[in-house]
Structure 1
Amino acid sequence: MIKLIGTGVWILVITLASVYFSLKMASAPKVDTEAAAREAAMEFVTGYTTTVPVISDGGVHGYLLTKLAYKANKELAAKQVVPLPQMITDELYTLLVGKKMIDVANTGSFDLDAFRGVVKEGLNRRFGADVIADVYVEQIDYITTASVQDPAPKKGVTLLKGEVPGGQQTEKSGGH
């Protein structure tokens, strides 16, 4: 009987000691105040749906419809003379028409990360500061001129469809 009580007391002492030392040795989680401050300085900007003509061989063969969203620095964005959505739309026209970032004939060669990087870099260069922190792709579609003229047969292709923060999910390649 004494051995049973002794064993119980021994187990109790060991358990209490281990809990005490565990709590004593556990450090409080370190809060990255710089990261929290950077995140607080950001705002989410939803871009417009931008329709860019695909021009080749002297004519319009279709249209790229893009919808992007951005994480931007609030203070730097407020200092811009031209509003953010309009500047972003202009930069998209420059990228998609002037530099032909998306080759509709060969959609498999499209590099989403490079596209995001070029958009971010181009916008920040035009703003003269690091206004844009992240670029999110909601959707990129290609619609042929035939489908615009005769909307009954669907001849458009979804090149890319993604979801924008809420859960900050990643983009997925799309079908039709």
Structure 2
Amino acid sequence: MIKLVGTGVWVLLITLASVYFSLKMASAPKVDTAAAEHEAAMEFVTGYTTTIPVIGEGGVSGYFLTKLAYKANKDLAAKQVVPLPEMITDELYTLLVGKKMIDVADAGRFDLDAFRGVVKEGLNRRFGADVIEEVYVEQIDYLTTAAVQDPTPKRGETLVKGEVPVVAPAEKSGGH
């Protein structure tokens, strides 16, 4: 009889210990509230398709067509006097025409990560705060002047075809 009671107590202790440890291990994962709050403070901004002339050899030799999107801080973006998409378009002209970031003669050496970094850095400098967190490249194309003037449809050279994150319609802002 004592062996039976001892076995019952032993099974009871093992069962209680296993239930305790399984509940302890299966508790809800800890949520990084700082990261969640940071992500909630961001918004997705779709930029305009921007056509930038490439000037060389005494005139316009072609056109860059860019479509970029951005992850921006909602609060800091709301404080800007000029709407974000218009400011972004102006800064793209400054960076790509004024600083000639893309060399048409050597398009194969185009550094996409450096381009994103310079665009982000230039925009944040222009805003005077870290408004832009990420730059997404949807597409960058180059069309020669001859291709634009030719009546037969031709495609330009696609330099970069990126993937922009899918955002719910309520989260989008800006753009056409």
TM-score normalized with structure 2 length: 0.82
**Where do 4+ consecutive residues of structure 1 move more than 6 Å?**
10-16
The 1-side partners of 2:111 and 2:11 are apart by 61
Residues 56, 24 of structure 1: CA spacing in aligned structure 2 closer, same or farther, 3 A cutoff?
same
Quote the residue 1:172 is aligned against: none
Quote the residue 1:111 is aligned against: 111
The amino acid across from 1:116 in the alignment is R
Measured after TM superposition, the shift of residue 23 of structure 1 is: 2.5
Quote the residue 1:131 is aligned against: 131
The 2-side partners of 1:29 and 1:68 are apart by 36
Measured after TM superposition, the shift of residue 51 of structure 1 is: 0.1
Quote the residue 1:37 is aligned against: 37
Q: Which moved more, 1:42-51 or 1:20-29?
A: 20-29
Measured after TM superposition, the shift of residue 25 of structure 1 is: 3.6
Aligned counterparts, 1:37-56, within 5 A: 37-56=37-56
Measured after TM superposition, the shift of residue 153 of structure 1 is: 4.8
- DSSP-derived class of the 1:117 partner: helix
Quote the residue 2:172 is aligned against: none
- DSSP-derived class of the 1:118 partner: helix
Contact preservation (8 Å) 1:144, 1:155: no
The 2-side partners of 1:85 and 1:153 are apart by 30
Quote the residue 2:69 is aligned against: 69
TM-score normalized with structure 1 length: 0.82
Unaligned runs of 5+ in 1: 1-9, 168-176
Contact preservation (8 Å) 1:46, 1:68: yes
Quote the residue 1:82 is aligned against: 82
Q: Which moved more, 1:24-33 or 1:126-135?
A: 24-33
The 2-side partners of 1:134 and 1:11 are apart by 57
Measured after TM superposition, the shift of residue 43 of structure 1 is: 0.7
The amino acid across from 1:126 in the alignment is R
The 1-side partners of 2:59 and 2:22 are apart by 73
The 2-side partners of 1:151 and 1:96 are apart by 28
Taking only the aligned residue pairs, the percentage that are identical comes to 84
The amino acid across from 1:119 in the alignment is V
The 2-side partners of 1:76 and 1:144 are apart by 38
Q: Deviations over 1:40-60 (max 9, x none)?
A: 111110000000001112111
Q: Deviations over 1:145-171 (max 9, x none)?
A: 11111141515101111121128xxxx
Quote the residue 1:173 is aligned against: none
The amino acid across from 1:165 in the alignment is P
Number of positions where the alignment pairs a residue of Structure 1 with one of Structure 2 = 160
CA RMSD of aligned residues (A): 2.3
Quote the residue 1:148 is aligned against: 148
The 2-side partners of 1:157 and 1:101 are apart by 17
The 1-side partners of 2:35 and 2:89 are apart by 29
